[in-house]
Amino acid sequence: MSILLPPLKIVTYNIHKGMSALNRYVRLYSIAMALQKLDANIIFLQEVQGEHKKRARKYLYFPEKGQHDFLAQSLGLKATYGKNALYEHKHHGNAILSNLPLIDSHNLDISVNAMENRGILHCTFKPEGWPTEVVALCAHLNLLHHDRKKQYQYLIHYIQEKIDPKVPLILAGDFNDWQNKASDILQNELNLQDVFIHRHGAPAKSFPSRMPFFTLDRIYTRYLLPIHANVHTGIPWTNLSDHLPLSTSLILNK
Protein backbone atom coordinates (compact mmCIF):
# COMPACT_ATOMS: atom_id res chain seq x y z
CA MET A 1 0.00 0.00 0.00
CA SER A 2 2.72 2.48 0.95
CA ILE A 3 4.52 2.06 -2.40
CA LEU A 4 1.43 3.36 -4.24
CA LEU A 5 1.20 6.54 -2.21
CA PRO A 6 3.05 9.63 -3.44
CA PRO A 7 6.28 10.16 -1.44
CA LEU A 8 6.84 13.25 0.66
CA LYS A 9 9.87 15.33 -0.34
CA ILE A 10 11.48 16.87 2.75
CA VAL A 11 14.20 19.50 3.19
CA THR A 12 15.74 20.95 6.36
CA TYR A 13 17.99 24.00 6.20
CA ASN A 14 19.49 26.53 8.61
CA ILE A 15 19.46 29.66 6.42
CA HIS A 16 21.65 31.82 8.72
CA LYS A 17 19.07 34.64 8.69
CA GLY A 18 19.33 34.96 4.92
CA MET A 19 22.92 36.17 5.08
CA SER A 20 26.23 34.76 3.86
CA ALA A 21 28.38 32.90 6.39
CA LEU A 22 30.20 36.07 7.51
CA ASN A 23 27.05 38.27 7.34
CA ARG A 24 28.46 40.39 4.51
CA TYR A 25 25.89 39.69 1.80
CA VAL A 26 22.15 39.07 1.56
CA ARG A 27 21.57 35.57 0.18
CA LEU A 28 17.83 35.21 0.50
CA TYR A 29 17.02 35.58 -3.21
CA SER A 30 19.63 32.96 -4.12
CA ILE A 31 18.36 30.68 -1.33
CA ALA A 32 14.86 30.89 -2.82
CA MET A 33 16.12 29.94 -6.29
CA ALA A 34 18.17 27.05 -4.91
CA LEU A 35 15.32 25.69 -2.78
CA GLN A 36 12.94 25.88 -5.73
CA LYS A 37 15.05 23.30 -7.57
CA LEU A 38 14.64 20.82 -4.70
CA ASP A 39 10.83 20.83 -5.20
CA ALA A 40 10.01 19.85 -1.61
CA ASN A 41 6.60 19.26 -0.04
CA ILE A 42 7.77 20.34 3.42
CA ILE A 43 10.74 22.62 4.13
CA PHE A 44 11.98 22.94 7.72
CA LEU A 45 13.88 26.22 8.20
CA GLN A 46 15.92 27.48 11.14
CA GLU A 47 17.37 30.95 11.86
CA VAL A 48 14.60 32.64 9.89
CA GLN A 49 14.53 36.42 10.31
CA GLY A 50 10.93 37.42 10.90
CA GLU A 51 11.97 41.07 11.09
CA HIS A 52 15.20 43.07 11.13
CA LYS A 53 14.55 46.77 10.67
CA LYS A 54 18.20 47.83 10.65
CA ARG A 55 19.24 45.33 7.99
CA ALA A 56 16.18 46.17 5.92
CA ARG A 57 17.38 49.80 5.87
CA LYS A 58 21.03 48.92 5.31
CA TYR A 59 20.80 46.32 2.54
CA LEU A 60 19.07 46.96 -0.77
CA TYR A 61 17.97 43.36 -1.20
CA PHE A 62 16.94 42.59 2.39
CA PRO A 63 13.13 42.22 2.27
CA GLU A 64 11.01 44.17 4.73
CA LYS A 65 8.55 41.29 5.03
CA GLY A 66 9.43 38.22 7.08
CA GLN A 67 11.84 35.83 5.39
CA HIS A 68 9.35 32.98 5.81
CA ASP A 69 6.75 34.96 3.86
CA PHE A 70 9.27 35.99 1.21
CA LEU A 71 10.44 32.40 0.66
CA ALA A 72 6.91 31.00 0.69
CA GLN A 73 5.77 33.52 -1.92
CA SER A 74 8.86 32.85 -4.05
CA LEU A 75 8.31 29.08 -3.92
CA GLY A 76 4.53 29.06 -4.19
CA LEU A 77 4.14 27.53 -0.73
CA LYS A 78 2.39 28.45 2.51
CA ALA A 79 4.44 29.46 5.55
CA THR A 80 4.12 28.93 9.29
CA TYR A 81 6.52 30.85 11.53
CA GLY A 82 7.54 30.32 15.14
CA LYS A 83 9.05 33.43 16.76
CA ASN A 84 11.71 32.39 19.28
CA ALA A 85 14.14 35.28 19.83
CA LEU A 86 12.65 38.77 20.17
CA TYR A 87 14.69 41.99 20.35
CA GLU A 88 13.88 45.69 19.99
CA HIS A 89 14.30 45.91 16.22
CA LYS A 90 14.29 42.27 15.18
CA HIS A 91 13.12 38.72 15.82
CA HIS A 92 13.92 35.29 14.42
CA GLY A 93 12.86 31.69 14.79
CA ASN A 94 11.88 28.56 12.88
CA ALA A 95 9.56 28.21 9.91
CA ILE A 96 7.89 25.43 7.97
CA LEU A 97 6.95 25.93 4.32
CA SER A 98 4.66 23.44 2.61
CA ASN A 99 2.25 22.81 -0.25
CA LEU A 100 0.22 20.39 1.89
CA PRO A 101 -3.08 21.22 3.60
CA LEU A 102 -2.31 22.51 7.10
CA ILE A 103 -4.48 21.08 9.88
CA ASP A 104 -3.02 23.03 12.82
CA SER A 105 0.17 24.68 14.07
CA HIS A 106 1.69 26.13 17.22
CA ASN A 107 5.10 27.10 18.57
CA LEU A 108 6.78 25.64 21.67
CA ASP A 109 9.29 27.50 23.83
CA ILE A 110 12.12 25.12 24.78
CA SER A 111 14.54 27.77 26.08
CA VAL A 112 16.58 26.63 29.06
CA ASN A 113 18.74 29.71 29.62
CA ALA A 114 18.56 33.46 29.04
CA MET A 115 21.26 33.47 26.36
CA GLU A 116 19.63 31.14 23.81
CA ASN A 117 15.97 31.47 22.89
CA ARG A 118 14.99 28.21 21.24
CA GLY A 119 11.76 26.70 20.02
CA ILE A 120 10.03 23.85 18.23
CA LEU A 121 7.43 24.64 15.59
CA HIS A 122 4.66 22.01 15.44
CA CYS A 123 2.58 21.63 12.26
CA THR A 124 0.15 18.90 11.27
CA PHE A 125 -0.46 18.21 7.57
CA LYS A 126 -2.72 15.92 5.54
CA PRO A 127 -0.87 14.75 2.41
CA GLU A 128 -3.12 14.23 -0.61
CA GLY A 129 -4.03 10.57 -1.02
CA TRP A 130 -2.56 9.53 2.31
CA PRO A 131 -4.81 7.76 4.84
CA THR A 132 -3.24 9.60 7.76
CA GLU A 133 -2.08 13.01 8.92
CA VAL A 134 1.64 13.71 9.34
CA VAL A 135 3.13 15.72 12.21
CA ALA A 136 6.12 17.96 11.41
CA LEU A 137 8.33 19.35 14.18
CA CYS A 138 10.97 21.95 13.26
CA ALA A 139 13.63 22.23 15.97
CA HIS A 140 16.65 24.35 16.80
CA LEU A 141 18.47 23.22 19.93
CA ASN A 142 21.12 24.76 22.17
CA LEU A 143 24.88 24.81 21.64
CA LEU A 144 25.84 23.11 24.91
CA HIS A 145 25.18 19.42 25.51
CA HIS A 146 23.91 19.80 29.09
CA ASP A 147 21.28 22.24 27.75
CA ARG A 148 20.36 19.91 24.91
CA LYS A 149 19.86 17.05 27.38
CA LYS A 150 17.08 19.09 29.00
CA GLN A 151 15.59 19.82 25.59
CA TYR A 152 15.68 16.14 24.61
CA GLN A 153 13.68 15.36 27.72
CA TYR A 154 11.19 18.09 26.90
CA LEU A 155 10.86 16.69 23.37
CA ILE A 156 10.35 13.17 24.66
CA HIS A 157 7.69 14.25 27.15
CA TYR A 158 5.92 16.43 24.60
CA ILE A 159 5.81 13.78 21.88
CA GLN A 160 4.72 11.06 24.30
CA GLU A 161 2.01 13.21 25.90
CA LYS A 162 0.76 15.41 23.05
CA ILE A 163 1.18 13.50 19.78
CA ASP A 164 -0.85 10.44 18.80
CA PRO A 165 1.60 7.50 18.87
CA LYS A 166 0.00 6.07 15.72
CA VAL A 167 0.60 9.21 13.60
CA PRO A 168 3.68 9.45 11.34
CA LEU A 169 6.16 12.01 12.60
CA ILE A 170 9.00 14.05 11.11
CA LEU A 171 11.39 15.83 13.49
CA ALA A 172 13.95 17.92 11.63
CA GLY A 173 16.22 20.88 12.13
CA ASP A 174 19.49 22.09 13.61
CA PHE A 175 20.27 19.95 16.65
CA ASN A 176 23.76 21.39 17.29
CA ASP A 177 24.62 17.80 18.18
CA TRP A 178 28.41 17.99 17.96
CA GLN A 179 28.80 14.81 20.01
CA ASN A 180 26.26 12.63 18.15
CA LYS A 181 24.17 11.90 21.25
CA ALA A 182 20.68 12.72 19.94
CA SER A 183 20.08 9.71 17.69
CA ASP A 184 20.48 7.07 20.39
CA ILE A 185 18.29 9.02 22.81
CA LEU A 186 15.49 9.61 20.29
CA GLN A 187 15.69 6.04 18.96
CA ASN A 188 15.48 4.49 22.42
CA GLU A 189 12.81 6.77 23.85
CA LEU A 190 10.63 7.54 20.82
CA ASN A 191 11.53 4.96 18.16
CA LEU A 192 12.66 7.76 15.83
CA GLN A 193 15.24 6.98 13.17
CA ASP A 194 17.78 9.28 11.54
CA VAL A 195 17.17 8.95 7.79
CA PHE A 196 20.90 9.29 7.05
CA ILE A 197 21.86 6.55 9.51
CA HIS A 198 19.16 4.38 7.91
CA ARG A 199 20.36 5.03 4.35
CA HIS A 200 24.11 5.60 4.80
CA GLY A 201 25.04 4.28 8.25
CA ALA A 202 26.01 7.67 9.73
CA PRO A 203 24.52 11.14 10.36
CA ALA A 204 24.94 13.76 7.64
CA LYS A 205 27.89 16.18 7.75
CA SER A 206 26.41 19.60 7.07
CA PHE A 207 28.52 22.23 8.90
CA PRO A 208 30.40 24.36 8.03
CA SER A 209 29.09 24.51 4.49
CA ARG A 210 32.45 25.06 2.78
CA MET A 211 34.11 22.11 4.51
CA PRO A 212 31.37 20.06 6.23
CA PHE A 213 32.68 18.10 9.16
CA PHE A 214 30.06 18.35 11.93
CA THR A 215 26.72 16.52 11.96
CA LEU A 216 24.53 19.31 13.30
CA ASP A 217 21.44 18.99 11.08
CA ARG A 218 19.10 16.01 11.29
CA ILE A 219 15.92 14.47 9.90
CA TYR A 220 14.24 11.92 12.19
CA THR A 221 11.12 9.97 11.28
CA ARG A 222 8.56 7.56 12.70
CA TYR A 223 6.44 5.28 10.46
CA LEU A 224 8.07 6.86 7.39
CA LEU A 225 10.67 5.10 5.27
CA PRO A 226 13.38 7.14 3.48
CA ILE A 227 13.84 6.33 -0.20
CA HIS A 228 16.99 8.45 -0.31
CA ALA A 229 18.84 10.95 1.88
CA ASN A 230 21.10 13.67 0.44
CA VAL A 231 23.38 16.44 1.67
CA HIS A 232 23.41 19.22 -0.91
CA THR A 233 27.01 20.29 -1.38
CA GLY A 234 28.90 22.50 -3.80
CA ILE A 235 27.74 25.60 -5.64
CA PRO A 236 25.41 27.37 -4.92
CA TRP A 237 24.98 25.93 -1.42
CA THR A 238 28.49 26.69 -0.15
CA ASN A 239 27.87 30.40 -0.83
CA LEU A 240 24.42 30.69 0.75
CA SER A 241 24.67 29.83 4.45
CA ASP A 242 27.07 28.37 6.99
CA HIS A 243 24.98 25.14 6.91
CA LEU A 244 24.18 22.78 4.05
CA PRO A 245 20.60 21.59 3.48
CA LEU A 246 19.52 17.97 3.88
CA SER A 247 16.79 16.31 1.88
CA THR A 248 14.94 13.01 1.80
CA SER A 249 11.88 11.40 0.21
CA LEU A 250 9.61 9.47 2.54
CA ILE A 251 6.97 6.81 2.01
CA LEU A 252 4.49 5.54 4.57
CA ASN A 253 5.84 2.55 6.47
CA LYS A 254 2.96 1.16 8.55
Give me the number of domains the chain comprises.
Answer: 1
CA distances from 113 to 30, 80, 87, 145 (A): 34, 25, 16, 13
Whether the CB-CB separation of 195 and 167 falls below 8 Å is answered with: no
Distance CA 59, CA 227 (A): 41
Domain that holds residue 85: 2-252
Note down pLDDT in tens along the chain; length 254 residues: 445 788 999 999 999 998 888 888 889 999 999 999 999 999 999 999 987 878 877 877 778 789 999 999 999 999 999 998 788 788 889 999 999 999 999 999 999 988 899 999 999 999 999 999 999 999 999 999 999 999 999 999 999 999 999 999 999 999 999 889 999 999 999 999 999 999 999 999 999 999 999 999 999 999 999 999 999 999 999 999 999 999 999 999 87
Distance CA 28, CA 19 (A): 7
Handedness of CA 176, 179, 182, 187 (dihedral sign): positive
Phi, psi of 242 (to 5 degrees): -85, -10
Distance CA 180, CA 117 (A): 22
CATH at 229: 3.60.10.10
